[in-house]
Structure 1
């Protein structure tokens, strides 16, 4: 890994649950050991922070040194605290600029800072990483990123910020034109200085992210088919964004010398791994591929992480490894208790959630498959609302925004944020942008900001963090239609799942603020029809909130593994759900092996569903489809009576 030591910023990402946090912690500790004179900073941008679980220390927003490595500091970013700091520095000036580009007075904009912002975690994280490196607070920075879908959202923020600054520049240009027309001259003010500063910071940040000599994304994967497919998509997206990927790390790799010849499933996994590693090597191209060996004991704490990093080796594999073939294998048995019949119990919505990589997608697919098989008269749909969709991978179907029939009564879809945003713009945002711009001035010289151009530039962007809001609206519309008797949601990992569950309240608050503005300025704003449609949207959102917290309507199913860091995050999720009024009655212990127990006391009141590790290769004469769909079918048999 010496070739990575020239970097100053290493961003670690990949599919949820592949070991991003483990590699981030181990790699940061390696740098701290290798360069004792450098200040190394380890950051987490994932809303569901796990650094403390892996390092076995308490981690907060304030950087703190590792006890055994004082030159390594660890920090979990607090988006709300960063927003307040941002408001203190730029708030008044930004309110002034928006005031200059709309009919709204500055005092009306102050409440916006207290609303729940979509994309807040990504936006504040990006700005803070730029600030840390600009101010020289660290010599080397390792960032434990959110799973791949939201990592890409963070990188794409650069384009959004650039368009936003250009829109603010139009607002300021309108002010300049007015001043010149009234006084014959213009004197730059604080807003000009702020725009210049923010633009320079943006350009410097973009240069930093795209400078392959000092910045790179380290991609983590595991030798499983779904991880391979998502990794290939991530590598392609990084190349499109001009973000360098310097290396690929394949975690949980098996050793042929340590394989148990009597373990049929283990032997099959080893054969499959060799086949998949050749594909990882192909997708990586000229990038090095490193193997992180499977550990018998979960690597928690500094010593275990240091030992793991010392075992990382370059991949040496033949590109012609054949796909495994199996003639006989013992399938896992059903373990009591099982799920109840959700349709018979009157449920309309089942939400499957948990930390990335625990098997949410397989469990969601299995619940949908099992209910559809048991109730052939009922229409069942399974929907992915994770920006990094894996549902199609799990079902072995090419899915998109439009539903695809899997069986006669089971359909599946992967919600497209792009499709939903286009619809949302047409339904509300274009007209809202026109309203915010105010009436058009008669003088052409004064039309710069009083026509919708600047606002349309903002609305035309892929708004950061809007995925959760659009997913809510998509699910809401489907529930309202009554076309499906049961909807099963495959959600994003924990942090962004919680954002989805918070979205009804957040969207309701935003709409409430817009209504207050309209009431105050209705003589200028007009748009009575738009306000009527937005009121209807708010009522529908509030109804969705009631349904999410109604245990007779919505069932939340958590998925976890017998790993300390995973179980700890699952317990935190349970507490967060309770705080939000969402009832969780079930927890799925995925990849269960005899003798394993979940030691989290928080799970004691839940019904524990044990789902054994599923084979990834099936005999040709088996009644199940080939994997991965066969895994979903088998899991459905195992989790229902």
Structure 2
């Protein structure tokens, strides 16, 4: 079959003129698609194009890899890129920013909360030292707004976290507006009291703070939502799960009124120069044709996501685009997508399993499996494959897959729709004579989790924090619980993930599920998630201390009793997470320098947290690859590099190799194939069903 052109071949084009005029460029997308690489490449490109401008490349991702890509140290202090002196690079440190925020505003915030509650200033001091959920996103948003409002530089390029957590950051604009409204009520209560005693009111430092904060937040929102100055560039790769997540992400950006600049489609295979004959595609290697066929089919679908926005492509290079030369080489090959070529798929070929595989986790007594790693390495596929393999092996057991990543793709992995409530995954075609498979799945809806938490605890806690128990008090009705209810009506990102973990442990303890597999968020937010039980325990301990001090005034022993029950669940969760007989973490890695470096850091962090890890899944493994100290060379033509030292963080792990899966198959067939390759002893291959 000769190559055919559709109405939609890539023609050479510079970056769109609208991009060149941007003051703020936000680079985001599904994890693992190359967001950091393209953010670094764009910043270097514009620094060269506009030498008279001062540029800042910034990362809000807690597990950033700017230094790995730029091949230079990157810290919380902005520093110039050696060959681009007008470009500075910085990775935000949320704790450092929180400390600076406390130094600047801590006293006045404590004063406002004291005016709106029963607590005294000294009671609030410990709050600053607690682990805040969502502090990464909150401090990131405030710092971006500060840089824009103060015009610190001419142009900012932000390497954002993966799409789900990027949306959480943007949603914090509404959160901050709500907090401001609540603080205004606290201050208005103070004003009313002052007038009732003195007949007049003199504005104080709290009024000045509220006025300035209101202005800053309004200006920051205006910047972020101004299409003349700001745009979010969405990075993707031509794979089905990336397409689906990009569709959802672009729709969410529109809802939040964040301007979309366009799409950047990364790692596109070049079309080979073939003679126009019916057998032309048969001359290509099988894997190249398989990937070309899928990519070209999906490219056309990408053009329909935002028809009025530019779609640019970047090629898959022979070596990883890191360092100055690699990044500049990549940026020189950006092209505008205008046509796609229909490539007929080859006959499906499944690879053979490569021992060793994963173990039978149910037989070894595991109850909870956490699958994690850098975004885009294949966590969801591996989690789905584990669930399917265990369901095939143990048809009398109840197994559940749960996604806690804000940007869910668990349903996409099976080609089925999942929601907040668990539902059976349709596996009738795989049942056979052995009977049905008891595998269910759910994608946790943060808002539903939080709403239940509010109803169980927070609404009553808000009334308690107001310190005003007299229901007939006009002052109480106007300014007391109302302000606190506004506060708890919003929530910092991360609370929902932690509450989901508590629920998971409860399901296992009550015997409702025999095994739960968690598809987790990318590395930085995974670590925050694992730290959340400790954080919630500390917050509850602070509330108990306040209640003990003021219990004669507060009462509410029933609420405190229920909160103590919650803390007991949290303590049990902490214990179960660190029990190697109960919980196992499985890391997933691919053959790229930034990925293996992040996997090393994750392994070290897990050990520090006391979590058990025995396996590391090397996804998309090809024969001859060796774990190396600075890369895992799987790019075409890439040579192997120095093996990791014997004392490397992976030395104690069993490496399980998962070869590349064929692309021209259904989602369920792909999961079934992965299950067979990871558990060859008892998971059927797609060719056996």
Range of TM-score over shorter length: over 0.9
Cα deviation 1:434-470 (Å, max 9, x = unaligned): 1101124588552256531111111112433323223
Aligned pairs (5 A) from 1:527-606: 527-600=556-629, 601-606=648-653
Q: 1:167, 1:455 within 8 Å by CA — same for their partners in 2?
A: yes
The alpha-carbon deviation at position 477 of structure 1 amounts to 2.8
Instruction: Compute the TM-score of the two structures, normalised by the length of structure 2.
Output: 0.90
The answer as to 2:447 corresponding to 1:418 is yes
The answer as to 2:488 corresponding to 1:456 is no
Q: Secondary structure at the match of 1:167?
A: helix
Of the three residues 298, 309, 320, the one matched with 1:276 is 298
The answer as to 2:677 corresponding to 1:638 is yes
Instruction: Compute the TM-score of the two structures, normalised by the length of structure 1.
Output: 0.96
Q: Secondary structure at the match of 2:148?
A: helix
Q: Secondary structure at the match of 2:303?
A: helix
Of the three residues 371, 384, 394, the one matched with 1:375 is 394
Aligned pairs (5 A) from 1:379-458: 379-406=398-425, 407=427, 408-440=437-469, 444-447=473-476, 451-458=480-487
Of the three residues 334, 339, 360, the one matched with 1:312 is 334
Structure 1 residues without counterparts, runs of 5 or longer: 619-626
Of the three residues 612, 615, 625, the one matched with 2:662 is 615
CA distance in 2, matches of 1:324, 1:414: 34
Q: Which residue of 2 aligns with 1:198?
A: 213
Q: Secondary structure at the match of 2:620?
A: strand
Q: Which residue of 2 aligns with 1:169?
A: 184
The alpha-carbon deviation at position 596 of structure 1 amounts to 1.1
Cα deviation 1:316-353 (Å, max 9, x = unaligned): 225xx668554x23211100111111100000001000
Of the three residues 334, 349, 353, the one matched with 1:334 is 353
Q: Which residue of 2 aligns with 1:624?
A: none
Distance of aligned partners of 1:329 and 1:443 in 2 relative to their CA distance in 1, 3 Å threshold: closer
After TM superposition, the runs of 4+ consecutive aligned structure 1 residues lying more than 3 A away are 258-262, 321-326, 440-445, 448-451, 462-465
CA distance in 2, matches of 1:23, 1:252: 11
The alpha-carbon deviation at position 273 of structure 1 amounts to 1.1
CA distance in 1, matches of 2:382, 2:94: 31
Q: Which residue of 2 aligns with 1:287?
A: 309
Q: 1:354, 1:560 within 8 Å by CA — same for their partners in 2?
A: yes
CA distance in 2, matches of 1:68, 1:450: 57
Q: Which residue of 1 aligns with 2:632?
A: none
Q: 2:30, 2:375 within 8 Å by CA — same for their partners in 1?
A: yes
Aligned pairs (5 A) from 1:505-520: 505-520=534-549
Q: 1:349, 1:554 within 8 Å by CA — same for their partners in 2?
A: yes
Q: 2:57, 2:88 within 8 Å by CA — same for their partners in 1?
A: yes
The answer as to 2:377 corresponding to 1:358 is yes
Cα deviation 1:60-101 (Å, max 9, x = unaligned): 000000011110000000000000000000001000100000
Distance of aligned partners of 1:39 and 1:412 in 2 relative to their CA distance in 1, 3 Å threshold: same
Aligned pairs (5 A) from 1:16-27: 16-27=31-42
Of the three residues 189, 192, 195, the one matched with 1:180 is 195
Q: 1:102, 1:450 within 8 Å by CA — same for their partners in 2?
A: no
The alpha-carbon deviation at position 162 of structure 1 amounts to 0.3
Q: 1:417, 1:470 within 8 Å by CA — same for their partners in 2?
A: no
Q: Which residue of 1 aligns with 2:24?
A: 9
The alpha-carbon deviation at position 137 of structure 1 amounts to 1.7
Say which is worse superposed, 592-601 or 470-479, in terms of deviation: 470-479
Q: 1:65, 1:73 within 8 Å by CA — same for their partners in 2?
A: yes
The alpha-carbon deviation at position 428 of structure 1 amounts to 0.5
The alpha-carbon deviation at position 107 of structure 1 amounts to 0.6
Q: Which residue of 2 aligns with 1:296?
A: 318
CA distance in 2, matches of 1:447, 1:366: 55
The alpha-carbon deviation at position 476 of structure 1 amounts to 2.7
Q: Secondary structure at the match of 1:59?
A: coil
Q: Which residue of 2 aligns with 1:628?
A: 667
CA distance in 2, matches of 1:333, 1:488: 25
The alpha-carbon deviation at position 416 of structure 1 amounts to 1.0
Q: Which residue of 2 aligns with 1:67?
A: 82
Say which is worse superposed, 580-589 or 469-478, in terms of deviation: 469-478
Cα deviation 1:378-412 (Å, max 9, x = unaligned): 11111100000000000111000111112431111
Task: Tell me how large the CA RMSD over aligned residues is.
Answer: 1.4
Structure 2 residues without counterparts, runs of 5 or longer: 1-14, 275-280, 428-436, 630-647, 682-689
Aligned pairs (5 A) from 1:121-200: 121-200=136-215
Cα deviation 1:80-132 (Å, max 9, x = unaligned): 00000000000010001000000111110010000000110000001111111
Q: 1:587, 1:606 within 8 Å by CA — same for their partners in 2?
A: yes
CA distance in 2, matches of 1:385, 1:135: 37
CA distance in 1, matches of 2:272, 2:108: 64
The alpha-carbon deviation at position 135 of structure 1 amounts to 2.0
Say which is worse superposed, 602-611 or 459-468, in terms of deviation: 459-468
Aligned pairs (5 A) from 1:69-108: 69-108=84-123
Q: Which residue of 1 aligns with 2:645?
A: none
The alpha-carbon deviation at position 602 of structure 1 amounts to 1.9
Aligned pairs (5 A) from 1:182-261: 182-257=197-272, 261=283
CA distance in 2, matches of 1:529, 1:279: 55
Q: 1:441, 1:450 within 8 Å by CA — same for their partners in 2?
A: no
Distance of aligned partners of 1:258 and 1:344 in 2 relative to their CA distance in 1, 3 Å threshold: farther
CA distance in 1, matches of 2:553, 2:671: 57
Q: 2:148, 2:220 within 8 Å by CA — same for their partners in 1?
A: no
Q: 1:438, 1:450 within 8 Å by CA — same for their partners in 2?
A: no
Distance of aligned partners of 1:323 and 1:255 in 2 relative to their CA distance in 1, 3 Å threshold: closer
CA distance in 1, matches of 2:343, 2:182: 54
CA distance in 1, matches of 2:478, 2:503: 33
When the two structures are aligned, how many residues end up with a matched partner?
630
CA distance in 2, matches of 1:197, 1:5: 32
CA distance in 1, matches of 2:562, 2:212: 39
